[in-house]
Amino acid sequence: MIQLKTVSHSYHSSHTIRFKDWNIADGSQWLLLGESGSGKTTLLHILTGILKPSAGELIMDEVSLYKLSPKALDQYRGRHIGIVFQRPHLIKSLTITENLLLAQSLAKLPEDQQRIEEVLESLDITAKKKSYPSQLSQGQLQRVSIARAVINKPSLLIADEPTSSLDDKNAQSVLELLMQQSALNQSTLVVATHDKRVKDAFTHTYELK
């Protein structure tokens, strides 16, 4: 259960963005819709625990996220929140497997090779596990970034415009993978997009105006 309570944020104390309250049930799949400039990225960053809102509260599994110490918040984020970015940003100096190992160790979880194999298998990229990011195609990289987001079985999986730079076919498959993976790991899924192609797949929608 994730609750957004009277959250608002202002960047330079001039223009304040208010967000309507939002209750996200465990395991539900949401679409976050909004034009650019509507505060979509701001809300996503608040949800991922990297931007403290000026006012209001974010409660995730009975934990008020922004009342945690910075260090505890970092660790909470690493363990419970998985993020898929618009562009698949992997660490270039590390192989695919090492990128996933990094996600485990930065969250202060034990390195679990078996879990890595399992995730790579389910995303069909096992063959590339020893490659470096520069050796993979854009579609493959997006799969790896999904793998990295779900490696620690997060309770919340957030995707920020995961399909906007992909063609129809790839966009469809990435969306399917996100839904499949969130179901597989019992994660709540929030996909932020202005991409009309993905609208139909979701029943719940949170719209920013």
Question: Where do contacts with other proteins occur on this chain (CB under 8 A)?
Answer: 41, 45, 48, 50-51, 70-71, 74-75, 77-79, 81, 83, 85-87, 89-94, 98, 101-108, 111, 148
Nearer to other proteins, 14 or 134 (CB): 134
Count Cβ neighbours within 10 Å for each residue of 6-21 and write b for 16 or more, e otherwise. Answer: ebebeeeeeeebebee
User: Which two three-digit tokens encode residue 179?
Assistant: 């839904």
Q: Which long-range contacts (CB under 8 A, 24 or more apart) does 124-131 make?
A: 125/96, 128/96, 129/95, 129/96, 129/97, 130/95, 130/96, 130/97, 131/95, 131/96
| Interatomic CA distance for residues 128 and 106, integer angstroms | 22
Minimum CB distance to other proteins smaller for 154 or for 202: 154
In the complex, minimum distance from the CB of residue 76 to other proteins, in angstroms, rounded to a whole number: 8
- Rounded Cα gap, residues 65 and 1, in angstroms: 13
Sign of torsion over alpha carbons 66, 72, 74, 75: negative
- Smallest gap from residue 156 Cβ to other proteins (A): 12
**Closest approach of Cβ 33 to other proteins, in Å?**
18
Cβ nearer to other proteins, comparing 23 with 135? 135
Residue 200 Cβ vs other proteins, minimum distance, rounded to whole Å = 28
* Residue with Cβ nearer other proteins (23 or 138): 138
Type and span of the H or E element at 173: helix 168-184
Beta bridge partners of 192: 32, 160
- Comparing CB distances to other proteins, the nearer of 25 and 55 is 55
Closest separation in Å from C-beta 147 to other proteins? 13
